[in-house]
Structure 1
Amino acid sequence: MTATEGLDREALDMMLASLDEFVTEALPDERRLDLDHEDVCPEDTIRAMCGEELGVHLVFIPEEYGGLGGGAFDSYRVCERLARIDIGVATSVFATFLGTDPILIGATAEQRKQWLGRIAEEGILFAYGATEPEAGSDLGAMKTTATPVETDGQVTGYRLNGRKQWISNGSIADVCSVLALAPGGPSWFIVERGTAGFSAAHPEDKHGIRLSNTAALFLDDVEVPAENLVGREEGRGLIQAQQVFGYTRVMVAAFGLGGGWEALDRAIAYSVDRVQGGAPLSTKQGFTHKLIVPHAVRLEAARALIEETATRIDAGEGADGALNTEGAIAKYLATEAGNAAAEAAIQAHGGYGYTREYLVEKIKRDVRITMIYEGTSEILEMTIARDRWQQHLKTSGAYYRDAARALADVPGDCGGPAAALAQECLAAVMEACRVGRLTRNQHVLLRLGELVAYAESAAALARRAAAAAAGTLPEKADTRFSPAALATVSRVFARDAVLKVAEEGLRWVSGAGAGVDVAAGAGMDVAAGAGVDLAATLPLDRTRAAQSGLLDDMNLVADALYGR
């Protein structure tokens, strides 16, 4: 993946402003609520957004094919804004980009020119046909087949048979990228709507994102020409899919970020006007410090990792899936935080939050899907843990100790010391797991994934706060918070992260120690000893001391959120 400059700040701001203006007119709150209630995808609006009226799809298309050549950072900003409007609509727009991923990554020059050029010029909609009823996140378990069709001894086409499930834009897309098992291995094929034997089921009746079209696809002896094999080479499908996970998961992370902030901002506005006990809810610490501040802090921690990862992708570091783990961390934290923020927003509205009129109920149903598609939270925990566990083993435990030292230059008022302490604790927890052979417990491995996400996000947020203080944030970075306020946000999250890593790490190491299978060779007392050693090794006194000043900082975050 080569370096990408993307749009300049002026062009990005213009696109975001145009998007806001278009949606305000085309999708006011009342229409969105009606479409949600009737379970209708506004296909006309989606096509208008991806047509001459707006051209939001052009951000995702390289300039050489008629697009704007936006980078990962641009895409994240657009995806966040789309999600603040409606995650269902955002999903429909994003599905076209997702459907072209195999083409961007693995197609021939002629295929890119043909298909990407058509998207840019005609605004055609794509779908991404990978998931199957029995395969889920395991693309290698797919059953859809691609049988070569020969003419005079030459392969002139392929016959596709199978079924795809949960396909966004499934019954409205003009073209679909379909993953199928060819003789040479999993391969991507381009299938146009209307091809004989290619059909879609009735749209799914979903819990949320009801403004997006989601349908199963059926392939019954669907014949496509050999030219529609992406890259004209069999067996590259899984590699092509894996190469973009870092990128696509950052975009879904932006959905969680946008949905969470939209819900939280509605709760903030409501609390200013809602009077309880003679004063607005916004003045009550019991309200703000439970339902608003913690969620804002977690969302901004996720943003820090999203922006950091997007910047690295644009710098060319994302080749061959090199940032897949960072993308997984960003998506995991952002979507979990977005879902929790939306849940809190319902509570913040009281009984009104449980009704359709205030929209937070809808946002909660919508944002929930972000924890499922493009890799469930559990799949991501496993992905994160396996990668970082291998890093711990390869470096003889130095991986997170080195990460802690790398934060030495981050000022204390930006959360650097507490973020570094979280890395130190994580190194100790992982070493205890190694000594006790505790990662044979799948749940321990998944919990390590969660702790990694918190520790690495704390580090990213501390670096972001330091950059804001130094005036070196990326040109297109979100600037909702002043440098001083962002530093406060970072301090709050760093305290949360270090406490979580230390206390929960100790909990799971101690908890898993008593259950190690003696016959497997580890021994109960070895594992139990690992738990005792960890309690002695972890800097628990420093961890608890780091919590000093937490409440004052939460007060400052509340002040920043309410502009007081």
Structure 2
Amino acid sequence: MNAGAGTAGLDAASLGLMLEALDDFTENALPWERRLELDHEDVCPEQTVRAMCGEDLGVQLAFFPEEYGGMGGGAFDSYRICERLARIDIGLATSVFATFLGCDPILFGGTPEQKKLWLSRICADGALFAYGATEPEAGSDLGALLTTATPVAGGGAYRIHGRKQWISNGTIADVYTVLALAPGGPSWFVVEKGAPGFSSAPPEDKHGIRLSNTAALFLDDVVVPAENLVGLQEGRGLVQAQLVFGYTRVMVAAFGLGGGWSALDRAIEYSTNRVQGGAALSEKQGYTHKLIVPHAVRLEAARAFLEETAAALDSGAGGLNTEGAIAKYLATEAGDAAADAAIQAHGGYGYTRPYMVEKIKRDVRITRIYEGTSEIMEMTIARDRWQNHLKTGGAYYRDAAAAMRASGPQQGAHTAALALDALAAVLDACRVGRLTRSQHVLLRLGELIAYAEGSAAMARRAAAAGAGTLGAKADRRFTPDALSAISRIFAREAAMKVAEEGARLVAGAQEQGSDLTARLPLDEVRVAQAGLLADMDLVADALYGRTQG
């Protein structure tokens, strides 16, 4: 499916109007000087968040179905909005998105009556929600719950006791969905602010996203009506949580993408005005080809995979937890690295608060942690794709490589196919050597898989742009020629990474030598690096609006 090709959700014009309105609202309500001030003071602008989710803007409406008063936006619309929010401020984006995350258990697991009651309250009244899953001792392991929900005598209520940690909107939400261990298993409950025994700690003193509100929750025998059990059936909590990971991780991927581009664009602007040695930094290849171009390439490769996954979600595809994990991994790793490079690109100025990139770096860092750490993403990716490799007798990535080769070579498809072929060989060597018993091997395979699949997605996106079939709502910053160059650069990096690091990984996990190198297309991968510098020049020209000649 071409990114953005589906018809689900908002039309392109409505999406464009929402993005413009978002820019206009935040420019007036939170100019960059005010954002720096709030960051320094560690204050969440609660009234601005409420205004954004109220009549002043109504950004939350895009996330909800029309039957509950929303605009009926799809995953693709949500990704574009989340990226735009993150370009403005990832802390602010977190506060807004926390309401959607907080009502996810209801949206995906609630009864029709529960959906109408709670989702309509969000759309009509701008109620803020929070998602109470993480616990101090559980982290990403939602099955290790200590919070309990005990039925009250008579069966008309539950008594919830426990603690939650790192909860976005923790002290400002009006309604909370709380995961607790009921007699029938983990279950979600709706808890309203002000319920007796329910309280929150002071906001956390965080490294970044200081415009968001994050706090621990305390539930000391909080009594909630039985009708607040989401779905009215115990033991469905983990299933309900799993249903939304593909979606929510795509949105956090959009945060990484937006934060990375926000920092990189500042570095691009800075370099056009900063003169060193008689010329602007933007004219110096040593600057652009280290600190700008590689990061732009990785961000756009992540976008390609993100847009494919969002479009698949809108088409009704299920079971996209792994795709969501790949999108999040690629985008948040690329976003964090781009922000770090943007500080370096500013020199000493980048290390100071007024230049914003210092703040963006602190903010985007969280995207590699919340909604599942990068390490959890690597494990999720590796376990699923490992099973696919085994079930298909090793054909899973060989078939993907063959499909890539059927595409035109101009968009890097043939080099992406080399990455996929190399991945198939690496996975098979791990099978023969039974190497996935090592957790380190499994996690590193997750990284290689993400790069290989990202290169294939980028090649498809470049081909769609060249054929004029890119969806109406897809991002269009780059021309088809520039996207083709981006695709070729990333495919070269992915092929080299999978082949060289895959060979090292397999050799390092064994006591004796491996014959893997004989089965890897190493010579072809090295030959495919030809033309890299010319493509980097082309991408640099595209980023700086220069014409080649």
Deviations 1:202-255 (A, max 9, x none): 000000000000000000010000110000000000000001100000000000
What is the 5 A alignment of 1:283-298?
283-298=283-298
Aligned position for 1:549 = 531
CA distance in 1, matches of 2:41, 2:243: 38
Contact 1:253 1:330 in 2 (8 A): yes
Contact 1:419 1:498 in 2 (8 A): yes
| 2:252 corresponds to 1:265 | no
Q: What's the offset of the Cα at 1:440?
A: 1.1
What is the 5 A alignment of 1:196-211?
196-211=196-211
SS in 2 for 1:235: coil
Kindly, what percent of the aligned residue pairs are identical? 76
Aligned position for 1:520 = none
SS in 1 for 2:143: helix
Contact 1:4 1:71 in 2 (8 A): no
Residue identity in the other structure for 1:323: L
Q: What's the offset of the Cα at 1:410?
A: 2.0
CA distance in 1, matches of 2:261, 2:97: 19
SS in 1 for 2:509: helix
CA distance in 1, matches of 2:471, 2:129: 31
What is the 5 A alignment of 1:308-319?
308-318=308-318
Aligned position for 1:510 = 507
Q: What's the offset of the Cα at 1:136?
A: 0.1
CA distance in 1, matches of 2:197, 2:265: 47
Contact 1:291 1:345 in 2 (8 A): yes
Name which of 512, 517, 524 aligns with 1:535.
Answer: 517
What is the 5 A alignment of 1:188-203?
188-203=188-203
CA distance in 2, matches of 1:168, 1:397: 42
CA distance in 2, matches of 1:474, 1:135: 41
Aligned position for 2:299 = 299
CA distance in 2, matches of 1:441, 1:324: 23
| 2:486 corresponds to 1:478 | no
Residue identity in the other structure for 2:539: V
Aligned position for 1:518 = none
CA distance in 1, matches of 2:336, 2:532: 24
Deviations 1:163-207 (A, max 9, x none): 000000000000000000000000000000000000000000000
SS in 1 for 2:404: coil
CA distance in 2, matches of 1:238, 1:537: 42
SS in 2 for 1:513: coil
Name which of 36, 40, 43 aligns with 1:40.
Answer: 43
Aligned position for 1:447 = 444
What is the 5 A alignment of 1:242-391?
242-318=242-318, 322-391=319-388
CA distance in 1, matches of 2:7, 2:70: 14
Per the normalisation by structure 2, the TM-score is: 0.98
CA distance in 2, matches of 1:213, 1:4: 35
CA distance in 1, matches of 2:173, 2:296: 36
Residue identity in the other structure for 1:231: G
Deviations 1:392-450 (A, max 9, x none): 11111100000101112321111100001100000000001111111111111100000
CA distance in 2, matches of 1:132, 1:187: 15
SS in 1 for 2:135: coil
Residue identity in the other structure for 2:540: A
CA distance in 2, matches of 1:349, 1:437: 47
Residue identity in the other structure for 1:354: Y
CA distance in 1, matches of 2:222, 2:407: 58
What is the 5 A alignment of 1:127-146?
127-146=130-149
Moved more, 416-425 or 401-410: 401-410
Q: What's the offset of the Cα at 1:538?
A: 0.4
What is the 5 A alignment of 1:96-175?
96-151=99-154, 155-175=155-175
Deviations 1:279-336 (A, max 9, x none): 0000000000000000000000000000000000000002xxx110000000001000
CA distance in 2, matches of 1:107, 1:95: 18
Deviations 1:7-38 (A, max 9, x none): 00000000000000000001111100000000
SS in 2 for 1:188: strand
CA distance in 2, matches of 1:149, 1:39: 40
Aligned position for 1:406 = 403
CA distance in 1, matches of 2:116, 2:145: 29
Residue identity in the other structure for 1:45: T
Deviations 1:113-139 (A, max 9, x none): 000000000000000000000000000
Deviations 1:63-122 (A, max 9, x none): 000000100000000000000000000000000000010001000000000000000000
CA distance in 1, matches of 2:196, 2:438: 49
Q: What's the offset of the Cα at 1:150?
A: 2.8
Contact 1:4 1:316 in 2 (8 A): no
Residue identity in the other structure for 2:370: Y
Aligned position for 2:239 = 239
Aligned position for 1:434 = 431
Contact 1:465 1:486 in 2 (8 A): yes
| 2:93 corresponds to 1:90 | yes
Aligned position for 2:460 = 463
CA distance in 2, matches of 1:401, 1:236: 38
Residue identity in the other structure for 2:72: G
Aligned position for 1:517 = none
Residue identity in the other structure for 2:272: V
Contact 1:131 1:137 in 2 (8 A): yes
Aligned position for 1:187 = 187
Gap runs ≥5 in structure 1: 515-524
Higher relative contact order at CA 8 Å, sep ≥6: structure 1 or structure 2?
Answer: 2
CA distance in 1, matches of 2:194, 2:335: 38
Aligned position for 2:229 = 229
Aligned position for 1:421 = 418
Residue identity in the other structure for 1:15: M
Aligned position for 1:521 = none
Q: What's the offset of the Cα at 1:4?
A: 7.2
Contact 1:84 1:259 in 2 (8 A): yes
Aligned position for 2:3 = none
Q: What's the offset of the Cα at 1:486?
A: 0.5
Count the aligned residue pairs. Answer: 541
SS in 2 for 1:316: coil
Aligned position for 2:29 = 26
CA distance in 2, matches of 1:483, 1:150: 66
Moved more, 407-416 or 300-309: 407-416
Contact 1:419 1:494 in 2 (8 A): yes
Q: What's the offset of the Cα at 1:149?
A: 1.2
CA distance in 2, matches of 1:380, 1:142: 21
CA distance in 2, matches of 1:212, 1:290: 32
| Closer/same/farther in 2, CA of residues 4 and 465 from structure 1, 3 Å limit | closer
Residue identity in the other structure for 2:338: A
CA distance in 1, matches of 2:467, 2:71: 31
CA distance in 1, matches of 2:89, 2:521: 44
Aligned position for 2:490 = 493
Per the normalisation by structure 1, the TM-score is: 0.95
